[in-house]
Structure 1
């Protein structure tokens, strides 16, 4: 079911009805009648927020819950305000699986993995039913590998096995050589297989190097260095076409207003390296969707970067350091909301509350029109753990990977009445990309 109507500012009618019904169902199940705030610049967020408010009033008896001292907040946001987060490579377990393989209704299809055993061709990832996954879903790949290694080491000690295990590949061989370990370890052998496949895909796609440049583009302002590295990676046969496109998309977003930006020459370089016109056209689509003129907030201001620290992937040979500086813009919005500093001029209430509505909220339900990400889900989990008394829930029209995010935009643009047959070369000065 498509999300958008005939533009990036309008709902598909069936999708709108389904989203309203879904949000109302969530509120009823949680027994919450929230105050509703929305992102002012987003017509879709405003329409959704207004309709949910209207339906709560129409169904007053259903929403007649005991009032709390601090009313819950439903915050309706729009993905357009942060198109960077869904474009980035991920390094925590759940997010990596979704980005590199895909999670659909809690299931992961591993049938394409080389040498996969029949019982592992499709696996279930559920934080409710899988204690190991629940414990490790937000860990980075290195820490995850170290956790699995300690489990294998414990088994080796019990069985007096002396196989030398130093890498993820060694663990995969150990699981294959010791079928009794698979029986005893239950879910752990499943995760050894999954982590092994993630490691293989990281190596195959040169993702560590790609991710380092992604992080630089998302979090720092170093044009000359970024451009040099981007030109090198576009010309590298080790980097996938999808990664090359994403890097240019991030560059175009970051340096859209920079007078010396090199988007035109980068597009030419993409063509020279064999990318198709159809692939390259997605750059123009992204800028029409989430360029500076479409965003409410300054995505690249220093204020929007919550952390510039580095985080190391450690624990096993074969897993190197990588930048993980980026924090989703949602983090800043939620921190401002919890500190009661979120500007009403930018995030107004559907109905102005009494003074009680301006107290620090305890229960916050965030809904992202255009799709949330597992990186944002991880941030919400961390914020819940770090903020006593806060209970934040994140939802959205979907959970995006970089691939699904761009696919949704491209498919929407093809349905637009104004969509024509101009080439990507002919359109590349549009969509707010400043070309020199």
Structure 2
């Protein structure tokens, strides 16, 4: 049995592209070796994956790609009620997490004699007891001959773009702070394996710079242990080279940031294309669902990173008004070019050349129409919910640490326009976000001013009222809990208060000491707004100082290759990976990419999951 499968083949000094690197690894997982093909002549395959691995595959390999690898059928082993037929004479490729549930499902497949040529691929190293139980079970059935290969890979992350990734650990923020679907230890272990997978795919060993909070300390230690184990077992790896286990002239740096240090990026209404789509429609593994206008029908869109859709990848961090304008211009340009091609009638050579471009142009048209539909939906939401004004109000509060008279009057008016009434939907969440930002960032809160804003907002959602009350009690202790908040909302007030105590403890000292705030250089023109959130500002400082400034910012350091935990001299590094345990977001991703451009550094960004404001607040209130 192979301990680890072959990983990516990134060359030293080359800028990392996660799409290409992880796709290469996945293709290696699923391909048949020449030796295996020559031995039995069978090349047709069926792929059996779990939901976790399906998510990993879905952003990188389409059905067409799978067919090119002779995969004619793909099935989800976790799909309840899905009947899988007996298929002999084809290669059955399992790609699953090494969990007890999946091992039991594989055992059951052997009981039913579904496949006679089995290739078992685990997305991460399996527990020895689980492997032993599988081996004993297969041996008792006298079916060992069916197993052609068992390989343990390290591929536990979802690539969202060239420099953006998620570990898809659901409810990670809540689980790290209270009893969620997982324990904090489980989240940290899964995050460590996800980051280990990332760097195995990059074939790099990072310097680790981590914030001095309990969870990131444990994450850094566990990640260090994984690399330490890698050194001990390096001879058992199938890699064509183990150079990445040796000291390198330039290594990447991994910066583990504390989510609670900056909630501004999580709550602020976005203004850039990708962030706005995620805020309004919830991007899930690069897929978007939205309702057709005046219809109950749902449209499904795939933001295509498989073919490196340059439009999505290039425009996701551009202000939405610029993208909306560009989409219209591209559609107009396409119409002109298409008319020119279809008008060619006499010149045969030109007609042949034109026909070869037709399919490509149809693909371009499909892409343009997809973004046109998404853009139209966003424009409607902007108009109905006044999202541009919420963005401007939130940015002003963060920047100025206050709301002046005219700005406060405009916010009150907007709250009233978005209140319950004839034909007016209630957008409690939008109001809650701005009010929480106000409580987090305004230095000297006037009780009467806030009461005026709160009354104008008129929030009626009981869960939202209670979370707002908890924020109020931390910033305005003199306030009393409202009647609505004290009613039964199925929430544990003490648990919420404990969560917020941690958040406010980290915000309080920083808000008082920083005059510039978390967002700098905000211009009057919304399209030109430049945002520097707190985490991005810290990342910038670490990069500019070649890591020497990290200790002043409250970060610690581990040099894995040299077994050092002190910084004695500036570090020369290649790529930068910023990881947010507890969840990342598109606002922060956009901000960090802007900093990367200014500093001429390739910065990758990811989180234990990628949240928008709604899913983040759900974890605070659930």
TM-score by length of structure 1 reads: 0.77
Does residue 212 (structure 1) correspond to residue 212 (structure 2)? The answer is: no
Residue equivalent to 1:430: none
Residue equivalent to 1:29: 201
Residue equivalent to 2:614: 403
> Matched residues in 2 for 1:409 and 1:74: separation?
27
Deviations 1:205-241 (A, max 9, x none): 1112222111111211333435433333332236722
Residue equivalent to 2:382: 202
Residue 70 to residue 152, structure 1, CA distance change in 2 (3 Å): closer
Q: Return the match for 2:223 from 28, 52, 62.
A: 52
Deviations 1:240-285 (A, max 9, x none): 2211111111111112554657445544554xx3513322112245
> Matched residues in 2 for 1:98 and 1:407: separation?
15
Residue equivalent to 1:282: 467
Query: Match of 2:216, SS?
Result: helix
Residue equivalent to 1:352: 565
Offset at residue 147 of structure 1 (A): 1.4
Extract unaligned runs of 5+ from structure 1.
162-180, 313-320, 412-436
Contact 1:94–1:374 (CA under 8 A) maintained in structure 2? yes
Query: Match of 2:231, SS?
Result: coil
> Matched residues in 2 for 1:211 and 1:324: separation?
10
Contact 2:288–2:301 (CA under 8 A) maintained in structure 1? yes
Contact 2:252–2:574 (CA under 8 A) maintained in structure 1? yes
TM-score by length of structure 2 reads: 0.55
> Matched residues in 2 for 1:257 and 1:17: separation?
41
Residue 194 to residue 156, structure 1, CA distance change in 2 (3 Å): same
Contact 1:87–1:246 (CA under 8 A) maintained in structure 2? yes
Residue equivalent to 1:102: 282
Residue equivalent to 1:16: 188
> Matched residues in 1 for 2:369 and 2:281: separation?
18
Contact 1:83–1:290 (CA under 8 A) maintained in structure 2? no
CA RMSD of aligned residues (A): 3.2
Q: Return the match for 1:332 from 537, 541, 546.
A: 537
> Matched residues in 2 for 1:400 and 1:145: separation?
24
Residue equivalent to 2:599: 387
Does residue 250 (structure 1) correspond to residue 437 (structure 2)? The answer is: yes
Contact 1:38–1:77 (CA under 8 A) maintained in structure 2? yes
Contact 2:431–2:459 (CA under 8 A) maintained in structure 1? no
> Matched residues in 2 for 1:302 and 1:127: separation?
40
Deviations 1:48-105 (A, max 9, x none): 1122122222332448623222433221111100011111111211111101111001
Residue equivalent to 1:317: none
Residue equivalent to 2:326: 147
Contact 1:24–1:52 (CA under 8 A) maintained in structure 2? yes
> Matched residues in 2 for 1:127 and 1:381: separation?
18
Extract unaligned runs of 5+ from structure 2.
1-169, 235-241, 341-360, 419-423, 475-499, 559-563
More strand by percentage: 2
Residue 158 to residue 361, structure 1, CA distance change in 2 (3 Å): closer
Residue 311 to residue 330, structure 1, CA distance change in 2 (3 Å): farther
Residue 222 to residue 354, structure 1, CA distance change in 2 (3 Å): closer
Q: Return the match for 1:375 from 582, 587, 600.
A: 587
Residue equivalent to 1:232: 413
Paired residues in the alignment total 378
Contact 1:73–1:363 (CA under 8 A) maintained in structure 2? yes
Query: Match of 1:302, SS?
Result: coil
Contact 1:93–1:137 (CA under 8 A) maintained in structure 2? yes
Residue equivalent to 2:485: none
Contact 1:253–1:291 (CA under 8 A) maintained in structure 2? no
> Matched residues in 2 for 1:78 and 1:9: separation?
19
Contact 1:219–1:326 (CA under 8 A) maintained in structure 2? no
Contact 2:428–2:461 (CA under 8 A) maintained in structure 1? no
Which has more radius of gyration?
A: 2
> Matched residues in 1 for 2:270 and 2:260: separation?
20
Contact 1:78–1:369 (CA under 8 A) maintained in structure 2? yes
Residue 52 to residue 284, structure 1, CA distance change in 2 (3 Å): farther
Name the structure, 1 or 2, with higher relative contact order (CA <8 Å, separation 6+).
1
Contact 1:88–1:211 (CA under 8 A) maintained in structure 2? yes
Greater CA drift, 339-348 or 327-336 = 339-348
Residue 261 to residue 32, structure 1, CA distance change in 2 (3 Å): farther
Residue equivalent to 1:166: none
Contact 2:270–2:276 (CA under 8 A) maintained in structure 1? yes
Contact 1:35–1:74 (CA under 8 A) maintained in structure 2? yes
> Matched residues in 1 for 2:179 and 2:509: separation?
17
Residue 245 to residue 206, structure 1, CA distance change in 2 (3 Å): same
Contact 1:93–1:140 (CA under 8 A) maintained in structure 2? yes
Query: Match of 2:557, SS?
Result: coil
